[in-house]
Structure 1
Amino acid sequence: MHGRILIVDDTATNRIVYKVKLSDAFYEPLLAADGATGLRLAQDAAPDLVLLDLSLRDLPGPEVLRRLKANPLTRAIPVIALSASPGAADRGLALAAGADDVMSRPLNDAALLARMRNLLRLREEARFVTRAWGHEAPSILGMAEGAAPFDPAPFTPAGTVALVTSRVELALAWKHQLRRQMRDGLVVMSREQALALPPARDSTIPDVFVVEADLDAPGGGLRLMSELGSHAGTRHSATCIITPGEDDETTVMAFDMGADDVLSARLCDHELAPRLRTLIARKRQADRIRATVEDGLRLSIIDPLTGIYNRRYALPRLAGIAAQAASEGSDFAVMVVDLDRFKSVNDRFGHAAGDAVLVEVARRLSENLRLSDMLARIGGEEFLVALPQTTLPEAERVAERLRQMVCEAPVTLPSGDGLHVTVSIGVALGARRSEQTEDVSTLVDRADQALLSSKSAGRNVVTFSRNAA
């Protein structure tokens, strides 16, 4: 099955018809004959999407929507509201209450299924965090929020909406209309200007593109949408396609090509603004999730104290450096750098002083290495350095420079006092391609043994592994 669809409709014939059509499309239908049952099933059965009739006898459709969006367990479920009335007031109430779309009866089956596929795809994209981090992902990642009515306008920071059409007068009419209903920035763009936006995301990238379906030529807006989706700077922006009329074929094609919303031009006066507010809110939430995950991934390989790489990153990276050296037939060096008598720093001055020493030593090491080199903290006071394409004489010079840079100036402690610290260094040279292949863990062990020799020799010394020499 493609997904579980909750059908909330108090007309038995409608429920049976939807059940048959959705089953034929390989969905699993769940049926509710009134709003109260629908709310209970939405919470207990966790459907992937809800089809909600707005003319229920027990509860008004907008009230069901508000309750769904106020419940943390159900507010992420997309809802398509179904209306027997084409009136703008009913549609507007449903959109304001949190409906993802409002479709009027009689329904076009192809358009309904395309919109369902579109919303299910968007929901699946949002679920990847939960799959990666477990069911507690929202609270773990700081994204949990208290229950609140669905009303994106007051809570969403002002965004930017780009109006893209080949007719200037139409763009200006949209802008004039939206300016009265939205506080977001509105810019008029041509196709060329939209495609010329910078490749990196910044404040100039619109949150939403409103694109005329027949931009410059029939289907031109859909082609532009595909182009925007393939560009690094605009691929996370939402797109709303405006069709000239009730064009179900274009609607189906737009949704299946990835449009976030499709709206008939005749409905723009009443529905464009609330739909854009929903798109901006949804896009900002996706941005927050993506940034949180990216931060989590970054922190999983970064030592939070010093800001350099940690062991989890260092060993696979070292294996990559070794593989590259083997393919090129080049040398590379590995160093293990350890602070001398670091325990006494913590014992005498406290852990805050110890942290300050670690941060400063990491900074001095980092500033005296090349961009291609790797520096990682692999233990409490132990650092790993990898030097690709480095010969033995070059490794000797680098190791001695690092040792001197650490010891030549005192580290300023939080108390303001200065403390001289030193490091001991063990160095091992990676094997050439013509020599016996060596596992990176063995190479690190050789460097570590050389480090122990440096400690035994009185500390503040560089020692090379016998194999490297």
Structure 2
Amino acid sequence: MSGKLLVVDHVAANRATMHMRLSGAFYDVLQACDLQEARQHLSGDRPDMVLIDSKMPDEDPLRFCRALRASPKTAHLPVLLLSGKDDRGYRIRALKAGADDVLVRPVENGILLPRLRSLMRRNEFSQDSLVPRDTAQALGMADAQSEFQARASVLIATQDTATATTWQRILREKAPYDFSAQILDDALRSVTQSPAPDVFVIMPDAAQPDVSLRLIAEIRARSATRHSSVLVVLNSATRALHGDALDLGAQDVMKGGFDGEEMALRISKLVQQKRLSDRLRDTLKHGLQAAVTDPLTGLFNRRYAMTHLARIAEQAAVKGGRYAVMMADLDRFKDVNDQFGHTAGDAVLVGTARRLRQALRPVDLLARMGGEEFLIAMPNVSAHTAQGFANEMCSLMRQTPVEVPGMNLGIPITMSVGVAMGGNHNLDRSIDALMQSADRALYSAKSNGRDQVVMS
């Protein structure tokens, strides 16, 4: 199925007709004869979208919409209202109540189905992204929303400068956003420029409809603008572009030409959705980063290190090169914690990570394996080169005490390193075997007096 839709209508014939049309488009269709039954479906069946008749006898659908928006579980659920007439006043009230749009019966499939697909795409992204967001909150990783948010930017693209300028002037009085204007050709040429606007408002030119459609396609194809929202404004001459605009990636369409109040409402909704999706992506990005990095030093953790080390081994096997695996351990680190405290110990670990990162090449892997132990993997090196790098790292630690911020304290520290070589004649050795060899070499370095490098 393409998704689960809930149709709410007190007229059985209307429900049956809509069920037939939507089932033919491979949607799973639920039906409710009143809004109370609709609530039961929402709590149990969890539909992906709701289509509601604008005149329900048991309750005002606009009040129902406001209740959906007020609940965290349904705040982002797409809602379409179906009306028997094109009533601007009702459409404005519906948008203010939280409806995504009002469609006028009879709704052509060329308008209904693209609108459903557009809303379903938005809903699927929100639902997929809510999982990592909830996980992050449960783990205490979710950041508080910043008190400061830059003003949203809106680019108006029309066929002539006068129209765009007029819209810009009117909208500035109705919405607190930064509006700019371009003609369609200029917007198409500059679509890759950064920073991208939060919302594009596009009015197609009836004489050259392909320009606006291509602009929508380019917005969706370019990484700089992929996450910008798109509102397309149609009139009687361009109404046939409705379905194509939505299927190419527009999030919203106005069918009756320019209306300042309605456009401001639709732009505000798109800005809110854009900011939500940006937060969800940031949460996902931060969650993935937290999963592979050590929170204290910022180095990769064991989970990432083992996967990356396996890739280094695979590349060495393909290219016939050699690589080094090093286990490095700070000497007498327990004494640092006992004598100066754990805050000083953390500062030593952070300072060690910084020094090692500066000494290594960009292609080398550096990870904290736990405690005061670090893993270093160096692709495409000989044993002699690897030993030289290891000696240099020991020298860096030995020469200068690690400064402890806020304590006016420099703590002397040394490091021992065990090195094992992989690749070439050692292709049959597993990653685990190499790490065990490096561990044994590290143990020898510790046993032989510390502050030295031992080759396996």
Asked if Structure 1 and Structure 2 have the same fold, meaning a TM-score greater than 0.5 normalized by the shorter chain, the answer is yes
Instruction: Say if 2:185 is the partner of 1:188.
Output: no
* Aligned partners of 1:129 and 1:137 also within 8 Å: no
The aligned amino acid for 2:412 is: H
Q: Structure 1 residues 312 and 375 mapped into 2: Cα distance closer, same or farther (>3 Å)? A: same
Moved more, 318-327 or 354-363: 318-327
User: What is the match of residue 69 of structure 1?
Assistant: 69
Mapping 1:102-113, distance limit 5 Å: 102-113=102-113
CA distance in structure 2 between the partners assigned to 1:119 and 1:164 by the alignment: 23
**1:298 Cα deviation from its structure 2 partner:** 1.0
The aligned amino acid for 2:38 is: G
* Aligned partners of 1:130 and 1:138 also within 8 Å: no
Instruction: Say if 2:293 is the partner of 1:302.
Output: yes
User: What is the match of residue 227 of structure 1?
Assistant: 218
**1:21 Cα deviation from its structure 2 partner:** 1.9
**1:286 Cα deviation from its structure 2 partner:** 0.3
User: What is the match of residue 416 of structure 1?
Assistant: 408
**1:397 Cα deviation from its structure 2 partner:** 1.8
* Aligned partners of 1:141 and 1:292 also within 8 Å: no
**1:25 Cα deviation from its structure 2 partner:** 2.2
The aligned amino acid for 2:414 is: T
CA distance in structure 2 between the partners assigned to 1:300 and 1:345 by the alignment: 28
**1:88 Cα deviation from its structure 2 partner:** 1.3
Residue correspondences, number:
452
CA distance in structure 2 between the partners assigned to 1:163 and 1:141 by the alignment: 40
Instruction: Say if 2:256 is the partner of 1:290.
Output: no
Partner secondary structure for residue 219 of structure 1: helix
- Superimposed CA distance per residue, residues 390-418 of structure 1 (whole angstroms, 9 cap, x where no aligned partner): 12222122111100111211122353322
Instruction: Say if 2:245 is the partner of 1:254.
Output: yes
1:239 to 209, 230, 242: 230
Q: Structure 1 residues 118 and 315 mapped into 2: Cα distance closer, same or farther (>3 Å)? A: same
**1:435 Cα deviation from its structure 2 partner:** 5.2
CA distance in structure 2 between the partners assigned to 1:424 and 1:405 by the alignment: 12
Moved more, 312-321 or 272-281: 312-321
CA distance in structure 2 between the partners assigned to 1:135 and 1:416 by the alignment: 42
CA distance in structure 2 between the partners assigned to 1:456 and 1:400 by the alignment: 17
1:447 to 422, 435, 438: 438
TM-score (ref. length: structure 1): 0.90
**1:323 Cα deviation from its structure 2 partner:** 2.0
CA distance in structure 2 between the partners assigned to 1:296 and 1:453 by the alignment: 39
CA distance in structure 2 between the partners assigned to 1:143 and 1:88 by the alignment: 41
**1:336 Cα deviation from its structure 2 partner:** 0.8
CA distance in structure 2 between the partners assigned to 1:368 and 1:278 by the alignment: 50
Partner secondary structure for residue 209 of structure 2: coil
Q: Structure 1 residues 365 and 48 mapped into 2: Cα distance closer, same or farther (>3 Å)? A: same
Q: Structure 1 residues 435 and 449 mapped into 2: Cα distance closer, same or farther (>3 Å)? A: closer
Partner secondary structure for residue 262 of structure 1: strand
* Aligned partners of 1:43 and 1:73 also within 8 Å: no
2:352 to 361, 364, 385: 361
* Aligned partners of 2:54 and 2:82 also within 8 Å: yes
Q: Structure 1 residues 127 and 313 mapped into 2: Cα distance closer, same or farther (>3 Å)? A: same
Moved over 4 A (4+): 133-145
CA distance in structure 2 between the partners assigned to 1:215 and 1:234 by the alignment: 25
Q: Structure 1 residues 186 and 134 mapped into 2: Cα distance closer, same or farther (>3 Å)? A: closer
Partner secondary structure for residue 363 of structure 2: coil
Partner secondary structure for residue 370 of structure 2: coil
Structure 1 residues not aligned, in runs of 5+ = 146-154
- Superimposed CA distance per residue, residues 261-316 of structure 1 (whole angstroms, 9 cap, x where no aligned partner): 11124353342111111111001100000010001111111111000111111111
Structure 2 residues not aligned, in runs of 5+ = none
User: What is the match of residue 175 of structure 1?
Assistant: 168
* Aligned partners of 1:156 and 1:280 also within 8 Å: no
**1:156 Cα deviation from its structure 2 partner:** 7.8
Mapping 1:75-224, distance limit 5 Å: 75-130=75-130, 133=132, 158-190=151-183, 191-198=185-192, 204-214=195-205, 217-224=208-215
* Aligned partners of 1:245 and 1:265 also within 8 Å: yes
* Aligned partners of 1:111 and 1:248 also within 8 Å: no
- Superimposed CA distance per residue, residues 401-457 of structure 1 (whole angstroms, 9 cap, x where no aligned partner): 10011121112235332211111001112232x554322221121111110110010
Q: Structure 1 residues 138 and 100 mapped into 2: Cα distance closer, same or farther (>3 Å)? A: farther
* Aligned partners of 2:191 and 2:219 also within 8 Å: no
Q: CA RMSD in A?
A: 2.4
CA distance in structure 2 between the partners assigned to 1:301 and 1:72 by the alignment: 30
TM-score (ref. length: structure 2): 0.92
- Superimposed CA distance per residue, residues 138-158 of structure 1 (whole angstroms, 9 cap, x where no aligned partner): 65577799xxxxxxxxx9863
The aligned amino acid for 2:395 is: Q
- Superimposed CA distance per residue, residues 67-95 of structure 1 (whole angstroms, 9 cap, x where no aligned partner): 11111222221001112232211000000
* Aligned partners of 2:157 and 2:200 also within 8 Å: yes
